[in-house]
Amino acid sequence: MNVRYGQSTTYPKTKEVAKRWIIVDAKDKILGRLASEVAKRLMGKHNPIYHPAVTTGDRVIIINADKIKLTGQKAETKEFIWHTGYAGHLQRRPFLKQMALSPAKAFELTIRGMLPKNKLGKQMLKNLRVFAGENHNLESQKPESVSLL
C-alpha cells in the first residue's frame, strides 16, 4: 500500500495483493448463479481492499463443469453468439451443442460475459481454470475448497 502526504486513502498495488487458489465443484449447481459468484471472486469484490482498477481477485479452479444445471428451458434456448469479423458472419451455437463440444468452454464463456470488457477483464479471465471432469493438473498450487452456493 502506498500513502502519500496528505492522503488518507490507500490503494492496493497488484504486486502486493496476495492471490489465493480456490477450487469450486460445479456439480449440480445452477450455471448463472455459480458463474456470477465466480466472477465476483475473479474481480476481487469479496476482498475489503477491492479497487476496480486493480486485479485483487483470487485464482479459481472449477471442476465438474460438465455436470452443471440450467433452470427452465434455457438448455434448449440459450445460444452463444459471436461475430467472425466478416460481413454477414454472425455465428450461433446452441448451449447443448457447446456442452457436447466443450463443457469447460461453455462455462468460461458464461463467466467472461460477467467480467469487465477491458484489459483488466482479460487479466481476470487468465486467473480462471475450468475442467470438465473431477481431475485437474493444479494440485501443486494447493487450492483450498470453497463452496460458493
Domain range annotation of the chain:
19-68+102-136
CA distance 123 to 120: 5
Q: Which three cell numbers stand for residue 62?
A: 472449477
User: For residue 40, what are the β-bridge partners?
Assistant: none
pTM of the entire structure?
Answer: 0.90
pLDDT in tens, the chain (149 residues): 566 666 677 888 888 899 999 999 999 999 999 999 999 999 999 999 999 999 999 999 999 999 999 999 999 999 999 999 999 999 999 999 999 999 999 999 999 999 999 999 999 999 999 999 999 999 999 999 999 98
Give pLDDT, residue 61.
98
Domain 19-68+102-136: state its class: alpha beta
